[in-house]
């Protein structure tokens, strides 16, 4: 019976390489006063900038900075991950939103992706941010 349970656990672990769940960290006390945001795309990316500007009216003079980044086409050549890459949806990219008050990170959204970043990925991330700062 233990062998079956162990095998089941190993299979579940192998097939759970990438989840649709985002990792979110936030500072509750600092999120309630966010009335505006300044957009920073790092590294610069026209797709991210255009998409984000369609979602919100950013203010260049705001003290709250929203830093958006993404990466696509990540290839892991490590032999240690060969089984996970072959048997699961191993991430090939990510989308990340970080909200800063001065130099303090007060909100972070990170989600692994198995595809190139889409407008829908950015919209979902930004809607979660908006929901959490209200």
- Pair 40, 128: CB distance under 8 Å: no
Longest dimension (CA), the chain: 63
Is the CATH code 1.10.3300 the one for domain 2-133?
no
Span 71-90, pLDDT tens digits: 654 455 555 555 554 455 65
Q: Which long-range contacts (CB under 8 A, 24 or more apart) does 71-77 make?
A: 72/113, 72/115, 72/116, 72/117, 73/116
Higher pLDDT, 40 or 115: 40
* pLDDT for res 16: 41
* pLDDT for res 39: 97
* pLDDT for res 90: 54
Phi then psi dihedrals of residue 121, to 5 deg:
-60, -45
């Amino acid at each position: 019976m233990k062998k079956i349970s162990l095998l089941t656990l190993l299979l579940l672990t192998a097939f759970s390489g990438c989840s649709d769940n985002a990792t979110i960290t936030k500072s509750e006390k600092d999120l309630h006063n966010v009335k505006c945001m300044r957009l920073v795309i790092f590294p610069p990316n026209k797709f991210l900038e255009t998409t984000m500007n369609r979602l919100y009216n950013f203010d260049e003079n705001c003290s709250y900075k929203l830093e958006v980044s993404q990466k696509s086409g990540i290839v892991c050549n490590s032999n240690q991950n060969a089984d996970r890459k072959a048997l699961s949806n191993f991430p090939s990219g990510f989308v990340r939103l970080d909200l800063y008050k001065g130099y303090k990170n007060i909100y972070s959204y990170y989600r692994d992706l198995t595809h190139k970043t889409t407008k829908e990925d950015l919209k979902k991330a930004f809607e979660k941010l908006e929901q959490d700062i209200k």
